[in-house]
Amino acid sequence: MALSQQKLSSNSAPASKPTSEDLFKYLMPEDPNGARAKAVWKELKPEIEDILGAFYSRINETPNLAAMIEKSPHRAGDLAKRQTTHWEKAFITTELREFEADARKIGSAHVRIGLTSDWFIAGYGRVLMEAVPRILKAHRFTPQRAAEAINTLISRMFLDMALANESYSSQMTDHEAIEWREDNDYQNLRTISDSMHDINKVTLNLAVLSNSTAKATSSNESVAAAVEELVSSIQQLSDTSQNAANAAGDTNTRLIEGVQGVVRARGAIATVAEAAERSNQSLSSLQGAAAEINDVMSVIQSIADQTNLLALNATIEAARAGDAGKGFAVVASEVKALANQTASATEDVASRIQTLQAEIDRISANFAATREAIDTGEETLNNASDQIEGAGSQMEGVAGRMSEVAQILEQQESSAREISSHIVGMTDLARENSSCLDDIATSMTGSNDNLSKAAGQWFRTTSSRSLCEMAKIDHTMFKKRVVDAVLGRGQWKSSEVPDNHNCRLGKWYDSVEDSELRNLEAFRSLLEPHHRVHKSSTEALAAKERGDMETAMKKLTELDRASIEVVEKLNDVSAFLHSRESISERRKRERKPIFGEKVELKSGERTIKADVVNENAGGIGIEGVSQSEVGQLFEMFYKGNKKEGTVRWASGNRGGIKFED
C-alpha cells in the first residue's frame, strides 16, 4: 500500500480508468469461477427480503430519502424485487458485461432521482450492516467460512457499487451540468420575465401620456382656432373702438358747436324777449291812447248828441219862427246833419277803437304767451346748454377712453398673436411627443417580441417554475396588447378576449394537481386578481369600441392594479417552486465559505469538535463528522447563539448540519 501511494505521488499522470475485469480480479482473486459467490447467495437469498425491508425502513426514517421514494414511480416493494434480481446477478453471473450494464443503469436511475453519491454509498453500507450479522449467524460455528463468506459478500457488493458509482459519477457530472443548465435557463427566463415586467410597467403611464398628448393636441388645435378667432375679434373690436373714439370726438365737436348755437339762441331769445317787452310796452301805451281816444270819442259823441239835440231844438224853434226862422232852420238842419255825421263817425271810430282795443288785448295776450314761451325756451335752452356741456364732457372722456381701449386692444392683438404662435408651437410639440410615444411603443413591442423569443429558448415545459415565469411573460404581453388596442396601435375586439381560464396562465393554474402548491396562499389568492385582469381588459376594449375613451382609460387603470397583484403573487409562487426544484444544487451554490470557525457538537455525554467550512441560511458544512453521525441531533453554540441541528449527510470526514427551527 505504501508503495502504491509512493508511485501515485511521484507520477504526474493519473492512473488509467479500470475495466470491470480489472475490478473483478482486484476484488475477487480467490474466486475466479464464482463458486463462493454462488454459495453465499444461496445463504443470503432467504434473508434478502428482510435485509431490504430493514433497508427501506431506514430510508423512510430519513426525510430527504423518503421524499425521493415518494416521488419515484415505483413503490418500495417493486424496488426491492428489482434490487433482488440485480444482486442475484452480482453473485451468480459469469457475464460481467451484462452485469456491468445493469449496474450502470442502477447508477443512472439514482442520478435521475437526485440522490447524491454520499447517500448512494451509504446505502450499500446499510445493506452490509444488515447482511453481515446474518452471515455470521449462519457460520457462527465455522469462523473461517464466515470470514470467507463475508469477504465474498463485501467484494461482490463493492464490485456492484464500484461499477454503479463509475457510471454514477460520470452521469452525476452530466446531471449536475443539466441541473446547472436548467437553473441557468430558469434564471435567464426569470431575468427576461422580470425585465419584460419592468419594461412594461410604464405601459399604462405611456397610455395615459399618449391619451393626454392626443387630448392636448386636439385642445391646442381648438385653442389655436379660438385664439385666431379672438385675434380677429380683437382686431375688429379695436377698429370699432377707434371708430367709436373718432365718432365720439366728432360728436363732442358737434356738441361744442351745439352749445355755442344754444348760447347764440339764448342771446337771440333774450333779444326777442326784449323786443317783445318793448312791443308789449308799446301796446300798453297804444291801449292807453286808444282808451283816451275812446274817452274823447265819448265826449265827441256826447257833443254830437247835444248838438243834434240843439239842432232839433233849433229846428223846432225855427219852425215856430216861421219864415224868420227858415235860415236858422237850414243852419240847424246842417248842424243836425253834421251832428249825425259826427255821431256816425264817432260810432265808427268807437267801433274801430273797440276793435283796436280787442286786437291790442289779443296781441297783448299773445305777447304774454310769447313772453311765457320765451321764458320757457330760455330755461330749456339753459338746461339744454348744461346737458350738452355735460354730454360734451362725457363724450370727451368716452373718446379718450375709447382711444385707450383701442390702444390696449392693439396690444392685446399682438399678445394674442404671440399666444397663437406659442399654441401652434405647443401643438407641433405635442405631435412630436405623440410621435415619440408611438416610437417608444413600437420599440417596446420589438423588445417584447425579442425577449419573448429568447424566453422560448430557455422555457422548459417540464419545469413548474419555468411555466410560472412563462405565465408572467404571457401576462405582461396580454396586458400590453390590451393597452395597445385601446390606444389604437393594434386590433383586438372585446369579444375576442379569453376569460381567465383559457389564457396560458389560467390553463396552467387549473391544471396544477400538486396539493402543496395548490394550498400555497399566493397560489390560492391568484385567482381573484387574475379574473379582474380579464374583466377590466374586456371592459376597456368595449369602452374603446363605444368611443368612450374616459371609461377605457379608467378600466386600464383597474387592469394595471389587478396586474400588479397578479405579478406579485406569481413571484411568490415562482420563489416557492424555485425553492423546491434542484434544492441540493441550490444549497451548494448558496453556501458561503467560512474560514477559521470552530464548533463543538454535543449529544448527551458525547462531544465532537469540528471546523466550519461553509454556511447557508439553513445550516453549516463541517469537517470532523463521519457517516455514523448521520441522522443524529446535536446541540452547539455557533456565532454566539445556541442552536440544534441534525447531521444530514457525511462523506469522508465532511458533512452537513441542518439547523432545526
217 or 414, greater pLDDT: 414
Q: Residues for the chain: how many in total?
A: 661
Contacts of 443 (CB under 8 A, 6+ apart): none
Q: Are 217 and 430 in contact (CB under 8 A)?
A: yes
Instruction: Say whether pLDDT at 286 is over 50.
Output: yes
Instruction: Say whether pLDDT at 579 is over 80.
Output: no
451 or 114, greater pLDDT: 114
C-alpha cell at 473: 411573460
Q: Are 284 and 365 in contact (CB under 8 A)?
A: no
Q: How far apart are the first and last CA of the chain?
A: 47
Report the pLDDT value the prediction gives residue 589, as an integer from 0 to 100. 47
Identify the weakest region by mean pLDDT among 163-172, 302-311, 510-519, 543-552: 163-172
Identify the weakest region by mean pLDDT among 426-430, 461-465, 483-487: 426-430
pTM: 0.41
Percent of the chain with pLDDT over 90: 8
Report the pLDDT value the prediction gives residue 542, as an integer from 0 to 100. 94
CATH of domain 18-190: 1.10.490.10
pLDDT category, 40, cuts 50, 70, 90? Answer: confident
Instruction: Say whether pLDDT at 269 is over 70.
Output: yes
Contacts of 277 (CB under 8 A, 6+ apart): 371
C-alpha cell at 72: 419515484
CA distance 619 to 219: 65
User: What is the average per-residue pLDDT within 52-62?
Assistant: 86
Identify the weakest region by mean pLDDT among 17-21, 144-148, 253-257: 17-21
Instruction: Say whether pLDDT at 185 is over 70.
Output: no
C-alpha cell at 251: 360728436
User: What is the average per-residue pLDDT within 490-497?
Assistant: 88
User: What is the average per-residue pLDDT within 387-400?
Assistant: 69
635: left (phi over 0), alpha (psi -120 to 50) or beta: beta
Tens-place pLDDT, residues 192-245: 666 665 655 555 555 555 555 555 555 555 565 666 666 666 667 667 666 766
Type of residue at 581: E
Bridge partners, 608 (sequence order): 601
User: What is the average per-residue pLDDT within 270-299?
Assistant: 76
Report the pLDDT value the prediction gives residue 644, as an integer from 0 to 100. 93
Identify the weakest region by mean pLDDT among 294-308, 509-523, 529-543: 294-308
170 or 38, greater pLDDT: 38
CA distance 324 to 326: 6
CA distance 15 to 49: 39
655: phi then psi, degrees, rounded to nearest 5: -165, 175
- Tell me the average pLDDT of the chain: 75
Report the pLDDT value the prediction gives residue 221, as an integer from 0 to 100. 56
pLDDT category, 425, cuts 50, 70, 90? Answer: low
Domain layout of the chain by residue ranges: 18-190, 214-443, 459-581, 590-659
CATH of domain 214-443: 1.10.287.950
634: left (phi over 0), alpha (psi -120 to 50) or beta: beta
492 or 443, greater pLDDT: 492
User: What is the average per-residue pLDDT within 8-23?
Assistant: 53
Question: Which fold is adopted by the domain 590-659?
Answer: Thrombin, subunit H (2.40.10)
Identify the weakest region by mean pLDDT among 41-45, 140-144, 434-438, 483-487: 434-438
Helix H or strand E encompassing 648: strand 641-651
Q: Pick from 124, 99, 104: which is nearest to 21 by CA? A: 99
C-alpha cell at 136: 455470521
Q: Are 615 and 589 in contact (CB under 8 A)?
A: no
User: What is the average per-residue pLDDT within 359-367?
Assistant: 76
Q: Are 610 and 601 in contact (CB under 8 A)?
A: yes
pLDDT category, 601, cuts 50, 70, 90? Answer: very high
pLDDT category, 11, cuts 50, 70, 90? Answer: very low
Report the pLDDT value the prediction gives residue 350, as an integer from 0 to 100. 76
Report the pLDDT value the prediction gives residue 200, as an integer from 0 to 100. 56
- The strand pair at 619-623 and 606-616 is best described as antiparallel
Report the pLDDT value the prediction gives residue 354, as an integer from 0 to 100. 79
Dihedral sign for Cα atoms in the order 626, 627, 628, 633: positive
User: What is the average per-residue pLDDT within 145-157?
Assistant: 84
CATH of domain 459-581: 1.20.120.30
Instruction: Say whether pLDDT at 571 is over 90.
Output: no
pLDDT category, 74, cuts 50, 70, 90? Answer: low
CA distance 257 to 388: 10
Report the pLDDT value the prediction gives residue 576, as an integer from 0 to 100. 82
350 or 248, greater pLDDT: 350
